[in-house]
Chain A
């Protein structure tokens, strides 16, 4: 079967074979029991490569090291502590029910499935909710200084998409504190000799031998040397690919290179078009803009979102009287108000701006107003809760949010898509495991706030160490790595580098990246249509062609060459962008963060098409275009309903 107009083929369905049958609450226990164990004496002889040191990779490498495996860990920064997880602000969810407000594992499971707009696998999400409670225990024991109440117990707050208070936080720096916890555990293992750390090393290819993932090709970013590292299993924890849009809240170095090259080696890529646009970011200020800064969603707990009732109202916020303001989230969604999930809040902001009611330069902004909160709680209390975020806002914009409302606008923030994995977090390549934002596993078509940190740590501390063991129990029979496979991968890497350096054209890699990003934002961003996607699919290959013929990358392959690093990443973003658009075009329904303008209800809300699209789209790479494999999603526990936050 094939669909010529969309440029893809349809292949055999795919299915997870690892989640045990039976009651959902017993499945993880069952899997843990059925997983084979590795004899401690053998562990010392088994090598595992972990690429990435964020919450997922850092916790995984540390835990595998503790268990006695020989681990090699890689990151592109100068130290593992700088992985992008460090920037997470708001918090981490856990079904502790410390507040007694009706939370439970089942409710967190339910909220996550519903929040993901019924496009996630039930078994995985249930397990995530189960281990969420252990994560908080682990982090506290490591010394993560979560916010506490006067009684000495942990404080929590509410986050979008939930009506209970289950988000644990460390002021506005939750990701930093959790990552420093994982980092300290990792450094402890480095000192113990179980983990060998390679900083400033970028993974550029995957080595596959006898059908199994057996190593990586990396570039030492300081010397430029291309190195081969072999192992019995490879774990990718390389984060999300939101930087395909150039402007996003991700760190500048975030990239798709590791997962994309694994995809080209056979790992299927699931739901690439599911992108999360975060509603509360600082608006763009000019075309030199290099990144966007998030203002934590926790601000929506106390901040009220509004725009003027009238179009083109250019008065200062303070001069607009109460009755001429439209607190549109509270108006349209009375039950959740300012706390509706991200996709809904983002689209609502876009809609009011499209109506011409946006504020600030270019009309691309809405107000997030703390005047009521300051009047109700006092300035001190607001400062205690959000002080560092307010300062950050002022540093960037030069405006004081205690005196005038913040201006915010949606920005690309997170990618729900990623490499396809089964219940064991293993990709379609045996021995290649994928954890954290790099996989597609738990958030369906939309991730709830404070759930990425939870997932990364669940994967790394608790899930992977069990499931990878099951795979490695057979490691003694894997045999030697085929030298030809290594040579071939090294050659591919070398050729790409040589090619980039030899074009010597007239445009920088960054300028192409900016153009690609703008195209993706306009045509495959918050709202997608068949027409826009077709335009993108026409334009991307042209631009890619131009890039490969006209990019200018200065310098040598040897030594530190940041322009070369960037160019390599941009090249992969081009290929990924194309797959994202194909995926978005094929999915003619709207769901979660994927909004197809053709599929909306009378109120303009996303309209799913469960009959035709209740599946995970897993894409197989091919020279002549991708092949779609569908994983059908069954909902045994949560009834599929149209989401309503009204």
Chain B
């Protein structure tokens, strides 16, 4: 396959940035999207040009490090798929593909397609945990958990912290990410003692970081590679309201 890429290039946070066009030839349909970029980068290096900076690590859809807006959609049009798991067989020969970084004020661009998502860590720091020092835990079977609750908690816990939800949201809201953690821990008996304080602190931190409010557009869950459902946000709001009373 032969492709035309339009890629966002930005040399650091203070640079203005612009779209640059590249032609990539001989792309195999079995390549992953990132492998296609690897091929382009190898060529750029040999030509003495600056290769395109992008984040990635596991390349199997679990670490949450990769993420680009591809043809206007966070992680591309293939549903429930991270950028690294997207394969070229889903593009047509001759296609033109635009590639941009996550765009949201709390995620400043570091370089090209790399953004700073440390705001997510600070939301977790605010309360995304159960306080249990090592060595003090009771036997794991001392508290049975209903299978349905355990399964639902697991589903919410699968969030990989990629930030696609924020990039897709017209308000730049981090509600889906935050709600996923609040739901995961709030569904488990172990998470009950800190449930209120957790919801309150995490929501407040989210606002403090400059993420927008949720207006239920559902764009987040549509792009979420892990299919975190929208009703987690309703749950978060209920927990937050209860905690704020």
- A→B interface (CB under 8 Å): 59, 62-63, 66, 77-82, 84, 86-87, 96, 98, 134, 136-143, 145-154, 170-171, 173, 176-177, 180, 183-185, 187-188, 190-191, 197, 199, 222, 251-253, 285-286, 288-291, 293-294, 391-392, 395-396, 398, 461-462, 465, 506, 508, 510-511, 552, 554-555, 559-560, 562-563
Contacts and interface: CB of A to CB of B under 8 A. Distances in A.
A618 to B, nearest CB: 30
B144 A140 contact: no
Question: B11, B53, B134, B145: which has the most chain A beta carbons within 10 Å?
Answer: B134
B153 interface: yes
A252 B137 contact: no
B147 A86 contact: no
Interface in B107-129: 110-111, 114, 116-118, 120-121, 124-126, 128-129
B63 A77 contact: yes
25 contacts: A62-B134, A81-B64, A81-B121, A82-B58, A86-B62, A86-B63, A137-B139, A140-B190, A141-B140, A145-B151, A145-B153, A145-B154, A146-B150, A148-B150, A176-B160, A184-B128, A185-B129, A185-B132, A185-B134, A187-B124, A188-B125, A222-B110, A392-B85, A462-B134, A562-B51
A288 B31 contact: yes
Interface stretch (B38-46, B167-175, B231-239): B38-46
A194 B144 CA distance: 33
B42 A559 contact: no
Contacts of A62: 134
A143 B190 contact: yes
A478 to B, nearest CB: 26
A79 B34 contact: no
Given A138-B137, A184-B129, A511-B42, A170 B34 contact: no
Given A145-B184, A187-B128, A137 B137 contact: yes
Nearest to A191: B125
Contacts of A253: 57
A288 B39 contact: yes
A139 B154 CA distance: 13
Given A191-B125, A506-B46, A66 B140 contact: no
A561 B6 CA distance: 21
Contacts of B153: 143, 145
A152 B34 contact: no
Given A251-B63, A289-B35, A392-B85, A81 B42 contact: no
B119 to A, nearest CB: 10
Question: B41, B62, B151: which has the most chain A beta carbons within 10 Å?
Answer: B62
Contacts of B140: 96, 136-137, 139-141, 154
A461 B63 contact: no
3 smallest CB-CB distances across A and B, nearest first, come from A152-B144, A184-B129, A141-B137
A504 to B, nearest CB: 9
Question: A84, A153, A187, A552: which has the most chain B beta carbons within 10 Å?
Answer: A187
B59 A77 contact: no
